[in-house]
Each structure stands twice: as structure tokens, then as C-alpha cells.
């Protein structure tokens, strides 16, 4: 089969993907680990159906936004699906800086009914991947999450997108992620290996489980080593076992 080029990127399939002013090699060891996570998630959730995955952590600085970005890239590269990377961290948004895009209109505008999906979402240079910035909120952002607005917004997104990756705030400092749970199919929980206190990580798990979250697994991450960390390998890692996740 001959290679084809997509009008949204000047790269052939299998090449490094341009992002953040640099390259993300979809055949790198890190991308391979992310594909393993994708495969394991696919065994727990039927990714042929419309799905929303929430990415969160116990506290800030555990790499959830970078993981969300890279995971969305891998999904868009390897699945014949339309993927949306949604910045749901309206208090401390970051994804718009990655794509060098305005903060608004975005997710908050969608929740307020002030912007349709087509205006709040942005195309990227990557085939099958769009992103939606957090949008500008102002005071008392928690007011945006009432009256099942999250469910309504996600229902709108799934009229266009097959998979939504929701980059969520950390679960211990704020309650925002718990509002998202009614509209997501599963949660991936980021932990900074060797840095996040064990009790803090456990507290985050307890909060999610207490709210009825479908926790698919934990991802051990260590950005201080430039590449992520899992056991004795310096890459992303995943464990779906509840017993090991709590260890």
C-alpha cells in the first residue's frame, strides 16, 4: 500500500509528529509504552464506541497534561477515530500554550452555552486530532459544573468526536474532577514515581473511588528523568491491578 499525505500535516505516516515546536516520534520507546496503555484501556473499554477518558492526579506537577497530550497523539495516530484533547483544567489551563492558541472560546464557553463545539474546538496539524482550550472563566469556576452541564457538553462533543481525552485538574486540591465523573467512561490516574507522597496518592484514589469513579489504572511518571519512569524502565508505565495500584 502506498503512503499518503494528509493535508493537515506535511509528514508521512510513521514519521515524527510536530508538536510544541518540536517532534514527537510515534515509534519512540515512550510512544510504544503509550500504545501499550492504549491497548490495555481498549481491553477494558470498547473503543469502537464513543468514549471519554479523564486524566487526573493527586496534586499538581505530576505530568497529567503532558501525558494527556501524548496519549491523545498516540490515539489519533493509531486509531481510525476522531480524537479531541479537552483542557478541563479551567483554573490552571495549559494546553492552549502547547498549541499556541487563544484561551477562549473554549470549554468554559461551551458549558455556559456561549459557544458551539465547532467554535470552541481547534484543528491541529495532526490528522484526526483537535483540541479545545479551557476558555476564560472569571470568578467562582465551580458554578459552571452544576445542572448536569458536563454531561450535556460531552454529549455535544460526541456528535463530532469518537474519543475525548479530558485533561482534568488534580483531585485532592479541588472538587472539579468529581463533577466530570458523570460524563466519563474511565479514569487514568497519574502518579509521580518516587516523588508523590504515598498517603497523598492514596487519598486521591480514595476520593475518586468514593465518588464512584471507574479507575482503569495508574500511570507512574517521572518527568525529572526527562522521560517517564516505570519500575526500572524510564518510560510511561501502567498497572490495572487495584491491589498493586494501592501498594
| Residue 107's CATH number | 3.40.50.300
DSSP state of 121: -
Total domain count for the chain?
1
Sequence-ordered list of residues with C-beta below 8 angstroms from that of 64, at least 6 positions apart, any chain: 55, 56, 57, 167, 168, 170, 190
pLDDT above 70 (res 183): yes
pLDDT above 60 (res 151): yes
Residue 234 lies in a domain: no
Higher pLDDT, 154 or 30: 154
Residue 247 lies in a domain: no
Residue 149 lies in a domain: yes
Q: Give whichever of 101-110, 187-196, 225-234 has the largest mean pLDDT.
A: 101-110
Give the mean model confidence (pLDDT) for residues 54-74.
91
Mean pLDDT (the chain) is 81
How would you list the strands of the sheet with 122-123, edge to edge?
122-123, 129-132, 83-87, 163-167, 51-57, 186-192, 215-221, 237-239
Residue 227 lies in a domain: no
**pLDDT for the residue 147:** 65
**Separation of alpha carbons 207 and 20, rounded Å:** 33
The distance from CA 30 to its chain's CA centroid, rounded to whole angstroms, is: 16
Q: At what angle do helices 29-44 and 64-78 cross, to 10 degrees?
A: 80
Residue 4 lies in a domain: no
Residue 98 lies in a domain: yes
pLDDT above 70 (res 238): no
Task: List the one residue out of 110, 88, 72, 113 whose CA is nearest residue 180.
Answer: 88
Domain containing 130 equals 40-214
Residue 190 lies in a domain: yes
Q: Is 147 exposed, middle or buried (0-12, 13-18, 19+ CB in 10 A)?
A: exposed
Residue 222 lies in a domain: no
Amino acid at each position: 500500500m502506498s503512503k499518503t499525505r494528509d493535508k493537515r500535516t506535511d509528514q508521512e505516516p510513521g514519521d515524527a509528529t510536530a508538536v510544541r515546536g518540536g517532534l514527537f516520534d510515534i515509534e519512540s520507546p515512550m510512544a510504544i509504552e503509550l500504545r501499550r496503555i492504549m491497548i490495555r484501556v481498549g481491553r477494558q473499554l470498547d473503543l469502537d464506541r464513543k468514549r471519554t477518558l479523564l486524566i487526573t492526579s493527586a496534586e499538581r506537577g505530576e505530568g497529567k497534561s503532558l501525558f494527556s497530550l501524548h496519549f491523545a497523539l498516540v490515539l489519533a495516530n493509531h486509531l481510525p477515530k476522531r480524537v479531541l484533547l479537552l483542557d478541563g483544567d479551567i483554573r490552571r489551563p495549559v494546553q492552549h500554550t502547547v498549541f499556541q492558541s487563544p484561551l477562549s472560546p473554549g470549554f468554559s464557553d461551551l458549558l455556559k452555552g456561549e459557544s458551539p463545539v465547532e467554535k470552541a474546538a481547534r484543528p491541529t496539524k495532526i490528522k484526526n486530532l483537535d483540541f479545545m482550550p479551557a476558555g476564560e472563566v472569571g470568578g467562582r469556576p465551580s458554578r459552571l459544573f452544576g445542572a448536569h452541564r458536563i454531561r450535556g457538553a460531552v454529549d455535544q462533543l460526541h456528535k463530532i468526536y469518537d474519543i475525548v481525552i479530558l485533561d482534568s485538574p488534580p483531585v485532592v486540591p479541588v472538587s472539579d474532577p468529581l463533577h466530570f465523573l458523570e460524563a466519563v467512561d474511565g479514569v487514568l490516574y497519574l502518579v509521580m514515581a518516587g516523588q508523590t507522597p504515598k498517603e497523598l496518592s492514596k487519598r486521591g484514589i480514595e476520593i475518586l473511588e468514593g465518588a464512584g469513579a471507574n479507575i482503569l489504572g495508574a500511570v507512574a511518571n517521572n518527568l525529572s528523568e526527562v522521560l517517564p519512569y516505570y519500575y526500572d524502565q524510564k518510560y510511561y508505565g501502567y498497572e490495572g491491578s487495584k491491589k498493586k495500584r494501592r501498594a
